[in-house]
Amino acid sequence: MASISIVRTQELVLVTGPSGAGRSTSIQALEDLGYETIDNLPLSLIGHLVNGPPLGRPIALGLDVRNRDFSANGLIELVDLLTLDPRISLSLLYLDCAADELIRRFNETRRRHPLAVEESPAEAIAREIDLLAPIRVRADHLVDTTEMSPHDLTAQIAEWFGQEAGPGLSVSIQSFSFKRGVPRGLDMTFDCRFLNNPHWVPDLRNLDGRDSAVSDYVTGDPRFAEFSQRLRGLLLFLLPAHKAEGKSHLSIGFGCTGGQHRSVAVAEIIGNALAEAGWSVSKRHRELERRSAANRPSATG
């Protein structure tokens, strides 16, 4: 009888985001949850760290612009490399925050922004946000800490990464636009473009899938009820199986043409159904986040 080789995976969380957005709080929260944590580790050393045998507990690494070899392209290349490594179970956690709140935090603590050498804190913050923009859209977990207290952020981290949270498997639900590409790291992807499109209804065009009128329109498609019933049954069958295999996080994506109506409505409905069934669920709407970020006032405006 042939022997079976079991590859043990190392859970790895990369934590990044603008300075002052809550990385240190997140790293501390992950350490309290049992993670082996290292803050401000140079990118060039991460490969050496993960090439050894699994530690027996998850690792969380804090990465920011203070790293002497930090670059957005370097981090993206590292993420792509680790994603392809069967020994690594990778999550990218991005701590976001509005520029004016970051300015307030730096003024309140009287800390110098790491990029503010010959420019104002506001200019340094704006430059850092632009620098990290390509990384932000690659995040598996994105949390806006603008209106969060450290306690709120710690609670959110525990919900996503706590080993004892919910039934032991955290589920990330994402909506997205196929025009902008499928998000990195999805375990399952479902195409919602077969459903009736609210974009062609003038009264619904400027709304999104979280609005009850849009949701009612999408669920009114004659094909929706069977689709939703079959999908819910499939996921409720698969989630315990993934949990039994030791998986701690599962990412499910729903895509449509613009990422505003159908995928958002379906993600909300399925996410709520899984939460009602007792699973720990977080929801993210990528294109709505992009639109929200584009409408924010600039740090120098």
User: What CATH topology corresponds to 10-165?
Assistant: Rossmann fold (3.40.50)
Instruction: At 15, list the tokens.
Output: 């934590």
| DSSP string of 210-255, one letter each residue | TSHHHHHHHHTSTTHHHHHHHHHHHHHHHHHHHHHTT--EEEEEEE
Mean pLDDT score, 257-268? 96
Segment 136-157, tens digit of pLDDT: 888 888 888 888 888 888 878 8
Instruction: At 298, list the tokens.
Output: 């600039």
How far does CA 7 lie from the centroid of its chain? Answer: 26
> Is the predicted pLDDT of residue 209 greater than 80, yes or no?
yes
The residue with greater pLDDT, 164 or 14, is 14
What phi, psi does 282 have (nearest 5°)?
A: -120, 145
The share of the chain scoring above pLDDT 90, in percent, equals 32
Q: Return residue ranges of the chain for CATH 3.40.50.300.
A: 10-165
> Is the predicted pLDDT of residue 172 greater than 70, yes or no?
yes
CA distances (Å), 121 to each of 5, 18, 25, 69, 132, in order? 53, 12, 21, 22, 16
Segment 2-45, tens digit of pLDDT: 333 334 578 899 999 998 889 989 998 898 888 889 888 888 88
Pairing state between β 59-62 and 36-39: parallel
